[in-house]
């Protein structure tokens, strides 16, 4: 199995691709840059975009994971929805299944959240709604990591000291959530194949 992850430092922090590889037994490749948006992955005139476009054109993938810049789905929804649509089309043309990696709200009470003037519950809800809508519109799988963070953040230390990036445990929970979606999809795919009598 081969997995391509497209996103930014939310993926590369703590070497999450390696965690996902360990959980799935897959070869995991990631195209990431700190602060990158999905629109950049579509743009062949950027370094990241040209790398991604070549990988989708010439590489063989089973799954491609899409992760938007942390607040992008809320602050630039038009760009987010059109980028997901464009990338999902390319991913399907490649023969792979797209997975949206729904990210988390900034840490409750953290400086970054306060600085933006946002409410934790509101940010979590808006991110979840945007990712679920994009998954539904593009018939994509969704790994709702943001929901897992929301459920666990009161009892687990999921954030790095900046209140934005994941701690090592946070990265592991994200990798486990993505792996579970892949494993479930694999089981359903096998089940739906016609049995030879």
7 within some domain: yes
Helix (H) or strand (E) holding 195: none
89 Ramachandran zone, left/alpha/beta (phi>0; psi -120 to 50): alpha
pLDDT at position 151 is 95
197 within some domain: no
pLDDT in tens, the chain (197 residues): 999 999 999 999 999 999 999 999 999 999 999 999 999 999 999 999 999 999 999 999 999 999 999 999 999 999 999 999 999 999 999 999 999 999 999 999 888 888 888 899 999 999 999 999 999 999 999 999 999 999 998 899 999 999 999 999 999 999 999 999 999 999 887 766 665 54
Residue 71 lies in domain? 2-192
How far apart (Å, rounded) are the C-alpha atoms in residues 118 and 112?
9
Number of domains in the chain: 1
- Report whether 138 contacts 152 (CB < 8 A): no
CATH code of 16's domain: 3.40.50.1110
All residues at 6 or more sequence positions from 91 whose CB lies less than 8 Å from its CB, including other chains:
56, 61, 64, 97, 98
114 within some domain: yes
Buried residues in 35-50 as b, exposed as e (16+ CB within 10 A): ebbbbbbbbeebebbe
pLDDT at position 197 is 47
151 within some domain: yes
23 within some domain: yes
pLDDT at position 110 is 85
pLDDT at position 192 is 64
pLDDT at position 65 is 98
């Amino acid at each position: 199995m081969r997995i391509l992850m497209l996103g930014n430092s939310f993926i590369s922090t703590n070497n999450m691709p390696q965690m996902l590889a360990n959980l799935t037994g897959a070869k995991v490749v990631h195209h990431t840059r700190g602060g990158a948006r999905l629109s950049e992955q579509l743009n062949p005139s950027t370094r990241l975009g040209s790398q991604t476009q070549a990988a989708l054109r010439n590489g063989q993938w089973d799954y491609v994971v899409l992760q938007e810049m942390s607040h992008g789905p809320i602050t630039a929804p038009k760009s987010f929805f059109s980028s997901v649509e464009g990338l999902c089309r390319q991913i399907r043309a490649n023969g792979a299944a797209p997975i949206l990696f729904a990210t988390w709200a900034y840490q409750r009470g953290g400086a970054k959240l306060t600085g933006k003037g946002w409410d934790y519950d509101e940010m979590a809800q808006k991110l979840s709604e945007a990712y679920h809508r994009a998954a539904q519109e593009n018939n994509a799988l969704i790994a709702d990591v943001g929901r897992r963070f929301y459920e666990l953040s009161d009892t687990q230390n999921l954030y790095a000291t900046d209140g934005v990036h994941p701690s090592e445990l946070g990265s592991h929970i994200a990798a486990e959530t993505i792996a579970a979606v892949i494993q479930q999809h694999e089981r359903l795919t096998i089940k739906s194949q016609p049995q030879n009598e």
